[in-house]
Amino acid sequence: MDAMSEHTYKQFDIELETLRTRVLQMGGLVEQQVKKAMEGLYEGDTGLLELVVKEDARVNQQEVELDEACNQMIAKRQPTAIDLRMVTTVIKSIADLEKIGDKAHKIARLGLALNNQHTGFTPEVELRHMAELSLSMLHTALDAFARLNVVAAAEVVHQDEHVNTEYDSVVRQLITYMMEDPRTISRSLDIMSIAKAIERVGDHAKNIAEYVIYMVKGLNVRHSTLDEIDREIANGD
């Protein structure tokens, strides 16, 4: 390798590292948005919920900037193999992070509406466990992205089943409330929308985890069964 291309190569590595760091910063922001939305919801904290709504613009802005940075990097550096997979993984992951941001925004808006309608009402009992599971998936997915850890990524794919089970159980509980007292229907549907948003945070975290597996192993597991994923990850490294 001559001095010039070695220089270009190092420059590319630095840019790639910067890109990865920015994705993790965006991920951290989005994680905080979901946490604050849930906290604001539990506490009926209007100020905190309004902050989440306001901060969504920052999430959106980061997506636009990172998307542009990815395109410029492909055009300028023309990466191949794992480097290219890294950039396309970033392109897809930021789209999912932005959508997780949308969910935080949605939860905050529903929380504000609940605050207005039902004073003193906190849907913490129904939602806390599910929200913790989804947030843990998101955290692990970002960690898997940071450390290129396919085992952690596979764990996230597994956890999604738990969140789905938890969501079904919340829905069943709410149906019972509604049947017992039809006056709770409107409120229960709002809580159901929040539960759905939390469930979708888990879905997007799972997407990111699948991209990490693709990035590291060059293997698309989007439509594989859990057993197939476990076998693939046990193979090789």
64 binds its own copies (CB under 8 A): yes
Find the shortest distance in angstroms from Cβ 70 to its own copies.
8
Nearer to its own copies, 44 or 192 (CB): 192
According to CB under 8 A, which residues from 148 to 167 bind its own copies? none
Among 18, 25, 32, 61, the residue binding its own copies under the rule CB under 8 A is 61
168 binds its own copies (CB under 8 A): no
Among 20, 22, 35, 85, the residue binding its own copies under the rule CB under 8 A is 85
139 binds its own copies (CB under 8 A): no
Task: Measure the CA angle with vertex 187, ends 186 and 189; round to 5°.
Answer: 65
Among 45, 67, 124, 132, the residue binding its own copies under the rule CB under 8 A is 67
Q: How many CB atoms lie within 10 A of CB 76?
A: 12
Q: Could you tell me how many residues make up the chain?
A: 237
226 binds its own copies (CB under 8 A): no
- Measured in degrees and rounded to the nearest 5, phi and psi for residue 198 equal -65, -40
Residues 6 or more apart whose CB falls under 8 angstroms from that of 209 comprise: 137, 140, 141, 144, 152, 153, 154, 155, 156, 157
CA distances from residue 204 to 120, 121, 194 in whole angstroms, order as listed: 32, 29, 15
**Rounded Cα–Cα distance for residues 209 and 156 (Å):** 6
Chain residues in the site for its own copies (CB under 8 A): 57, 60-61, 63-64, 67-68, 70-71, 74-75, 78-81, 84-85, 88, 91-92, 95, 98, 171, 175, 178-179, 182, 185-186, 189, 196, 220, 222-223
